[in-house]
Amino acid sequence: MNIRRFETTDAEAVSAVVIKTLRISNAKDYPAELMEEIVKSMQPQNILERAGWTHFYVVEDNGQIIGCGSIGPYWGKEDESSLFTIFVLPEYQGKGVGRLIMETLENDEFFLRAKRIEIPASITGCQFYRKFGYDYKNGKAELDEERLYRLEKFRTPAIPAIKAIARNNIPECTEVIRTSFMTVADEFGFTVENAPRFVAFATTDDKLYSQFDSEHRPMYGYFSENGRIIGYYSLLLLENNECELNNLCVLPEYRHKNIGSALFADACAKAKDKGCEKLVFSIVEENEKLRKWYEKQGAVHTDTKKYDFFPFTCGYMEKSL
């Protein structure tokens, strides 16, 4: 069982899921004639229209769509959102499918940016939503003219932050490092055969665990609003009041949002707090864009060195703290 974003080719299958659920599950709480009126508004074209202005998800089991749900702006507002079209086939209800849909919707950007989220809840689904912290809008446990309960939840959007890495974050950090540096490998033609010691290929959970447990390296991550680690760096204290910066990176889809600059500034501040006077690090010398980026952060280029085990030149940079 997996959940994914809706595709236009899913419209007919999603419509069938919704209609079957309405006629079986919801018919227990509503007259059949009302359900048939709603069925008319849940045809494939209607699903496509809703998917056009919401983030629509479907749940599959062995290739069969068995559930769906969507989230979109509440009347165009950026700080309020609504959940829509949450249905699970009757034979799959009570098996965690609805929870999977809710958890996915509550990790969507429309949810994470909102201060208030509303659900037009059927009699059938009302108590299910209340288990997720939704309560009656304005405290009124009354059906509206559409015979729906209006439920709502208030939340304070989290603020992205740079925080120290805990040991249980290590596997996620490994993935962030490997994914981030793989774009460099792809750009310059590095492979596990010609550059097995390059960061994208050499970083493992065991390596980071060793750095964390034995070397006691300070490690920091940039955590998104939903708690995902999207950026990373670590420090290694050296002699002569120097500090080595390692593996500063940002996931590709989060670049160009000043996250890298925030991480570098934080690394400088953390190193200085530890009594260091200089931050040193290495880059792929051929990566001119990265070198210029670090120079904009106040770092200077100091040296280059060629190693037999790398198909590139190592460039060395530093910044006085």
**pLDDT tens-digit profile of 183-234?**
999 999 999 999 999 999 999 999 999 999 999 999 999 999 878 999 999 9
CA distance 287 to 272: 27
Question: Please, what is the Cα angle at 211 between 210 and 216, to 5 degrees?
Answer: 115
What's the pTM value of the predicted model, to 2 decimals? 0.56
Cα 174 to Cα 29, 147, 161, 205, 280: the distances in Å are 50, 50, 19, 6, 22
Instruction: Work out whether the CA dihedral 107, 113, 114, 115 comes out positive or negative.
Output: positive
Written as six digits, the tokens of 18 are 């919704």
pLDDT for 109 equals 86
Q: To 10 degrees, the CA torsion angle through 190, 192, 197, 202? A: 120
Q: Alpha carbon 313 to chain centroid distance? A: 34
Q: Is the pLDDT of residue 164 over 80?
A: yes
Q: Alpha carbon 252 to chain centroid distance? A: 12
CA distance 63 to 2: 9
Q: Using alpha carbons, select from 65, 105, 66, 104 the residue that is nearest to residue 84.
A: 105
Query: With bands split at pLDDT 50, 70 and 90, how would you rate the model's confidence at 179?
Result: very high
Can you tell me which residue has the tokens 């074209």?
A: 45
Cα 42 to Cα 19, 36, 133, 142, 304: the distances in Å are 7, 10, 27, 25, 64
Question: Please, what is the Cα angle at 140 between 26 and 83, to 5 degrees?
Answer: 50
Q: What percentage of the chain has pLDDT greater than the value 90?
A: 93
Q: Is the pLDDT of residue 123 over 90?
A: yes
